[in-house]
Amino acid sequence: TPASSQAPWAWFDGRMVSLDSPQAPLTTHAMHYGSGVFEGIRSYATDDGGAAVFRLPEHMERMRKGAVLLGIDFDVAQASEAVLQTLRANQHRDAYIRPLAWLGSGTIGLDVAPLTQHLMVATIAQPVHLAGKAARLGVSGWRRNPAKSLPPLKLCGGYINSVLAKREAKQRGFDEALFVDDEGVVVECTGANVFMVKDGAITAARHADALDGITRATLIELTGATSRPVSLEELKQADEVFVCGTAAEVAPIASLDDVVFGENPVTREFQALYARIVRGQDARFAHWLTTV
């Protein structure tokens, strides 16, 4: 492991390198066509002074699925080890972890067979911001990528859809965009899944075009939430709305278009529970943690 004084380090094609030193050819396929797949993972400081990665195998399995679609060879064991090595080299504990596998150079055409393949892992120190302000959500004018055109995996090019919706939301004075489909059924946000609380019942909005979120699955297991399609009408009448994702964790929603929600007591309770579990403070869920 390199000396941490030269941090930040990144794992790049089998070696630890200084994060900013690699140069990609200008013909890099992924830069032109979005032909790559990434993950967003988090590690958390644990009480013993170490750190643990939350649900690493699940993130790696989702990344593998995306890589298979793109014809990228992906070794889950190697990528998992790269994540741990990068965290150790950077001495990061509370961190956001960004692995990326992509197609490099060899052709400017669309047949991926001649292309070089690459893998990197960067980690970004990220103090946790659980007490953050509740977000103002606006219904997007954009539609989510339909799953029949682009499967809801973390394929780089697909995220242009999220970039457009996020830009529109910001331009209209919202913090975040909510995608709904042509029938007015809730899909998800640009980087998080949607839940609601109504009369004590917890519901996870389900949609074929939404990413199958690992935080969503975690919260369904923890809260016993029902996973089913939710209309925008129904969401607007909820007592509480929250979104969840690796980066967002459990994030309360203050308003949706012109509908203002009240206090978020149930959301705050799940937020606190999630915070304990990811830090290894709840032994029942120790199997979700990979020690760094």
CA dihedral of residues 209, 245, 57, 92 (deg, nearest 10): 150
Supply 213's token pair: 């979120």
Interacting residues with ligand PMP between 239 and 268 (CB under 6 A): 245-246
Size of the site for ligand PMP (CB under 6 A): 13
Range in contact with ligand PMP (rule: CB under 6 A) among 28-36, 73-81, 186-194, 234-242: 186-194
Told to check if 106 binds ligand PMP by CB under 6 A, we report no
Work out the number of other CB atoms within 10 angstroms of the CB of residue 37: 28
Beta-bridge partners for 202: 197
Helices (H), the chain: 29-33, 56-70, 76-90, 159-171, 214-223, 232-236, 265-278
The two three-digit tokens of residue 116, written as one number? 């070089």
* 95: contact with ligand PMP by CB under 6 A: no
Task: Pick one of 192, 205, 241, 250: the residue that binds ligand PMP (CB under 6 A).
Answer: 192
Per CB under 6 A, the list member of 86, 140, 193, 264 interacting with ligand PMP is 193
Question: Using omega within 30 degrees of 0 as the cis cutoff, is the peptide bond preceding 8 cis?
Answer: yes
Is 213 a residue that touches ligand PMP (CB under 6 A)?
yes
Find the binder of ligand PMP among 175, 176, 181, 188 (CB under 6 A). Answer: 188
Which of 99, 191, 252, 280 forms a contact with ligand PMP (CB under 6 A)?
191
| Region 23-82 residues binding ligand PMP, contact defined as CB under 6 A | 40
Q: Which is nearer to ligand PMP, 36 or 191 (CB)?
A: 191
The stretch near ligand PMP (CB under 6 A) out of 69-77, 102-110, 190-198, 227-235 is 190-198
Site residues for ligand PMP, 216-235, by CB under 6 A, read 216
Task: Output the CA–CA distances (angstroms, integers) from residue 143 to 137, 161, 168, 174, 190, in the order listed.
Answer: 15, 8, 12, 17, 11
Stretch that binds ligand PMP, among 26-34, 133-141, 187-195, 222-230 (CB under 6 A): 187-195
Q: Which tokens in the block code for residue 69?
A: 């679609």
Interface residue with ligand PMP among 214, 232, 250, 251 (CB under 6 A) is 214
Characterize 215-253 residue by residue with b for buried, 16 or more Cβ atoms within 10 angstroms of its Cβ, and e for exposed: bbbbbbebbebeeeebebebbeebbbbbbbbbebbbbbb
Binders of ligand PMP in range 147-176 (CB under 6 A): 162
* Closest to ligand PMP by CB, 33 or 96: 96
**Which SS3 state, helix, strand or coil, does residue 120 take?**
strand
Cα–Cα distance, 6 to 91 (Å, whole number): 11
Q: Using the rule CB under 6 A, which residue among 205, 211, 253, 292 binds ligand PMP?
A: 211
* Distance (Å) of CA 210 to CA 9, 34, 108, 228: 33, 19, 31, 12
Q: What is the contact surface with ligand PMP in residues (CB under 6 A)?
A: 40, 162, 188, 191-193, 211, 213-216, 245-246
